[in-house]
Amino acid sequence: MKHHFAYLACTAALVGSALGAAPPAYGPMVHFVDPGESIQKAVDAAQPGDTVLLMPGTFRESVRITTSGLTLRGVGRATVIKPAATKAADSCGRAGNGICVEGTKGSPVVGTTVASLTLSGFAKNGLWATDTDRLTVRKVTAEKNGQWGIAQQGSTRGAFVENTARDNGDAGLFLANSVTEEGGATDTKGAVIKRNRLQGNRTGVTVRRLRNLTVARNDITGNCTAVFVVGDETPPRAGALTVRENRVVGNNKYCAKTARLPFLQGSGIVLTGAEDTLVTRNLITDNAGTSPLSGGVVLFKSLVGATNERNLISDNTLERNAPADLVNTETTTATNTFQDNSCDSSSPTGLC
């Protein structure tokens, strides 16, 4: 393993040492990793503030990160991580994941970044994160993974920006309070899902039982459902979210029903059991199907009976969505507001 040090003031340090001054503390370290070398060894050797830089090529392993302030970065699409050729020895790989960023309750991994690489072909998730704060995932391509492309639970203030998630078995991007426990929505304290490209997944973006989060300026096309905001009756309710300025076009892939959901096809932005959510200034066109969740913007009572309440659907442009541009299946229509949308059809009538 090659280790390279980068100091911003090497000359000054030498001069200072010659004059008898105390030597400065060493700065952050960059660990270069070539194909055939172990990413995990470099990550294990790194300290907070260090960067592990992956060179072009294909790496066959899974990587577990538990260090705060670490950056794991490739050089773009030329850096590819795929499953190990033999049975994985680490817990991340044994679970079927590519990269795992894992803290613990009460002791999150803070300020770590994963950027500029591809995660492809893992049995479960391309990237899995749990118990993190201020995790940044940027310019990562997650493709053809068995469950989620990029996923996170139990975390705060994450930033998921300029990623590509395509052809994953479930959601391209998935954020939740917990995937193992029932419970009320948790406050993400301002997590952001922004400027991502989400194509060919079961769902482009799933936000489950969370509050205080923004989904903005994403390009979402060719999925079964573009955006799925999921809540239930357990307080605090999911919501206080913003879904804005997304391009939601032609999400007409067919996905078979599951134990929890009917078949999916032709769904743009779906809210189930959410409250106080703003859906605004989105372009939503050509999403068409016959699923109970089909349509441009769909308000649907959750499968456990939780209604949508006090949501505002405004200033969206909707065209050629079926069965309608705006769909509200709630029986209590007074609690949700539809205003200033450009659309041609709604169910019930009168929402455009």
Is 28 within a domain? no
Is 2 within a domain? no
Question: What contacts 24+ positions apart, CB below 8 Å, involve 82-87?
Answer: 82/58, 82/120, 82/121, 82/122, 83/121, 83/122, 83/123, 84/60, 85/60
**What is the percent of the chain where pLDDT is above 70?**
91
**What DSSP string runs through 308-335?**
PBS-EEES-EEES-BS-SEEE--S-GGG
CATH number of 274's domain: 2.160.20.10
pLDDT for 183: 82
Question: For residue range 62-77, what is the model confidence (pLDDT) as tens digits?
Answer: 999 999 999 999 999 9
- The answer for residues whose C-beta is within 8 angstroms of residue 119's C-beta and 6 or more apart is 81, 98, 99, 126, 127, 140, 141, 142, 143, 145, 149
Side-chain-side CA neighbours of residue 166 (13 Å): 12
Q: Tokens representing 53?
A: 């830089």
Residue 8 CA to residue 12 CA, distance in Å, equals 9
pLDDT for 205: 98
Is 226 within a domain? yes
- Judge whether 196 and 159 are in contact, CB under 8 Å: no
Is 107 within a domain? yes
State the Cα angle at 113 between 230 and 157, rounded to 5°: 40
DSSP alpha helix (H) spans, 140-198: none
Burial of 171 (0-12, 13-18, 19+ CB in 10 A): buried
Which residues form the domain of 116? 86-347
Q: Which residues of the chain have pLDDT under 50?
A: 1-22
Residue 101 CA to residue 113 CA, distance in Å, equals 9
pLDDT for 25: 54
pLDDT for 260: 82
Is 61 within a domain? no
Is 71 within a domain? no
Please tell me the total count of domains within the chain.
Answer: 1
Is 154 within a domain? yes
Question: For residue range 116-167, what is the model confidence (pLDDT) as tens digits?
Answer: 999 999 999 999 999 999 999 999 999 999 999 999 999 999 999 999 999 9
- What does the mean pLDDT of the chain come to? 91
Q: Tokens representing 23?
A: 């030597």
Per residue, the 3-state secondary structure of 185-244, as one string, reads: CEEEEEEEEECCEEECCCEEEEEECEEEEEEECCEEECCCEEEEEECCCCCCCEEEEEEE
